A = this chain, B = another copy of it.
């Protein structure tokens, strides 16, 4: 066994700095488990003049602006990719595999888009490829799913896997501030980027759900299979109605697998206050897993940040080095068990929240109710409030379980009804007792 394993780092930004600091700081614990030291031999940086927050005695780490200094160094056995972005990262990782280097990455964009290609390249070169940090930062959810649920059938996943949107929605719910104000505060506190699109549009969460689905259901889900709706423009009024009815709005990554068919989407949804996910506040993340045998389980923690993400990266590095020492690298890849088959709308069931305005006339509600009945949809909860305009009424309903195609048909018919002025909002409802 070697005295020391050399790691090459691609990217010394927020996560990369954390990786260097933490490898130094927890060197003794790591060495105790591995029987050898771990050393960041070289690190790729973009701008040599930029100052970095590395809390470590750097012990001779060489900084370079040329990726080949890392990728062609025969002493480097493990490459840690934390540079972000797609094309350059992908090429670097493929180069690393071609040179028989193992790879650990935190890059969810890349794994979501090119996971199959990268896994295939890893397998071909008998290399390890791990990416625990790519989903829910410091929460060991990928191990939880692959190892902890190895004997179970995972039937459903629900994830709060984007800290920015959870922070914004928590703020709106708790303090009654508008979406715009909550976003602004999130940006000031560093929980949201100056350009928040990837977060608030749900794309970041969709990437994580694609990765989770593949591992949980053993079927290859592409990023474009994940239906996405963001939180942009959510009306505070809906949060308040939901609250009155016993629900909290969250951006939920939902995935279901039954009859070998998958449903996966990311959308703002109401979750029952009785459900464990309802208590996941602020920037925290959580993934709720429903296993046929285990039943309900939830993994909760910090979904981002330099140190939590770095800890996940280095735990993967520890796994890789253990595999190296045992001579079993490249053996973790398991081909998907199922061919991808996505559920159609008539196979997707759920409860729904609908808010709409009607003319305040005798018999309107009974006509609406019988319209829904035509589509075999009945109401579980109804709330009717007088509107500011004396001639109109605002109605909020929560339906019993119904198929998505029937809901869409009902909403279209509702919209065409003369007494209905507008349909203001429409959200899925999760975690209610009947689900």
A contacts, CB < 8 Å to B:
18, 22-23, 26, 28-30, 32-33, 132, 138-140, 143-144, 147-153, 218, 276, 279, 284, 291-302, 305, 307-308, 310-315, 317-319, 326-328, 331, 334, 337
A257 to B301, CA, bound (A): 20
Nearest-neighbor residue (CB-CB) of A294 within chain B: B138
Count of identical protomers in the assembly: 2
The answer on a CB contact under 8 Å between A152 and B26 is yes
Q: When the two chains form their complex, are residues B26 and A315 in contact, meaning their CB atoms are under 8 A apart?
A: no
Residue of B nearest to A274 (CB): B281
Distance in Å: Cβ of A53 to nearest Cβ of chain B: 14
Q: Contacts A144-B144, A326-B326; is A297 near B151 (CB within 8 Å)?
A: no
A294 — which chain B residues lie within 8 A by C-beta?
Answer: 138, 301-302, 307-308, 311-312
Residues on B with beta carbons closer than 8 Å to the beta carbon of A299: 144, 297-300
Contacts of A284 in B (CB 8 A): 296
A296, B291: Cβ atoms under 8 Å?
A: no
Q: Are A301 and B297 in contact (CB under 8 A)?
A: yes
What's the nearest-Cβ distance from chain B to residue A157, in Å? 14
Closest 7 pairs (CB-CB, A-B): A140-B148, A151-B314, A297-B301, A138-B294, A293-B311, A298-B300, A293-B307
* CB proximity of A151 to chain B, nearest CB, Å: 3
Query: CB distance A152 to B295 under 8 Å?
Result: no
Given A144-B140, A148-B143, A151-B311, also A29-B337 (CB < 8 A) = yes
Q: Which of A22, A276, A293, A312 has the most CB of B within 10 A?
A: A293
Q: Which residues from B are CB-within-8-Å of A327?
A: 327-328
Q: Is the CB of B144 within 8 A of A295?
A: no
**Are A310 and B293 in contact (CB-based, < 8 A)?**
yes
A292 CB to closest chain B CB, in angstroms? Answer: 8
- A152 contact from B32, B152, B315, Cβ within 8 A: B315
When distances are taken between beta carbons in the complex, the residues of chain B under 8 Å from A23 are: 151
- A152: chain B residues within 8 A (beta carbon): 22, 26, 311, 315
Q: A28-B337, A298-B299 are in contact. List 4 more A-B contacts (CB 8 A).
A: A140-B149, A152-B315, A297-B301, A298-B298
CA distance A70 to B408 in the complex (A): 59
* Chain B nearest CB, measured from A300 CB (Å): 4
Residues of B within 8 A of A296 (CB): 284, 300-302
CA distance A302 to B148 in the complex (A): 13
Contacts of A319 in B (CB 8 A): 147, 150
A40 to chain B, nearest CB (A): 13
**Alpha-carbon gap, A32 to B146, bound state (A):** 13
A297 to B331, CA, bound (A): 29
Select from chain B the residue with minimum beta-carbon distance to A288: B300
Decide: B33 and A148 in contact? CB cutoff 8 A: no
